[in-house]
């Protein structure tokens, strides 16, 4: 009625309902991925709080890679959760240090889905509130963290 495509979704978010963003990542090529495979970080925190209040502890966090991912496979992971009592920062990137130079360049795509839940988030756990903290890492630092972790992983082989 007012030109908004999803007024009920926007209303639910404005009224404090929990929402999450799911990421669906897929190989778009015709062959299994052998060059720069997707990696996701399973972050661990030493303080008991999560991003954006803290950054992952590089010594206890782990990267998981998905080499040889076929076009028939899809990786689904939660990218963000409004509720601060849930882990909400699955970092992902292509690991440049895991490369088969003879393989064709990776072809991939991802789709994100917004999921709105019926429950509301307590104000002290709301990552989406007006007064929320800003991330402790900026985009450049985030990329550097991924690169450092990739180097660490390749040196442990």
Residue 156: per-residue pLDDT: 62
5 pLDDT above the threshold of 70: no
pLDDT at res. 129: 78
Average of per-residue pLDDT across 137-149: 69
Please give the pLDDT value at position 82.
92
How many other β-carbons are positioned within 10 Å of the β-carbon of residue 70? Answer: 12
pLDDT bucket at 96, cuts 50 / 70 / 90: confident
- pLDDT score, position 74: 96
Mean pLDDT calculated for residue range 38-55: 79
């Amino acid at each position: 009625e007012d030109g908004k495509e999803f007024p009920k979704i926007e209303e639910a978010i404005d009224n404090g309902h929990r929402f999450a963003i799911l990421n669906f990542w897929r190989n778009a090529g015709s062959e299994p991925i052998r060059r720069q495979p997707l990696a996701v970080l399973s972050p661990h925190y030493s303080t008991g709080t999560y991003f954006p209040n803290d950054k992952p502890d590089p010594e206890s966090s782990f990267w998981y890679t998905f080499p040889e991912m076929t076009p028939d496979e899809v990786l689904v992971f939660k990218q963000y959760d409004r509720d601060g009592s849930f882990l909400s920062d699955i970092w992902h990137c292509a690991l440049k240090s895991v490369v088969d130079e003879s393989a064709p360049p990776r072809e991939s795509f991802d789709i994100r889905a917004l999921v709105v839940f019926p429950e509301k988030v307590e104000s002290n756990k709301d990552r989406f509130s007006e007064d929320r903290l800003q991330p402790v890492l900026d985009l450049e630092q985030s990329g550097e963290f991924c690169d450092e972790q990739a180097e660490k992983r390749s040196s442990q082989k």
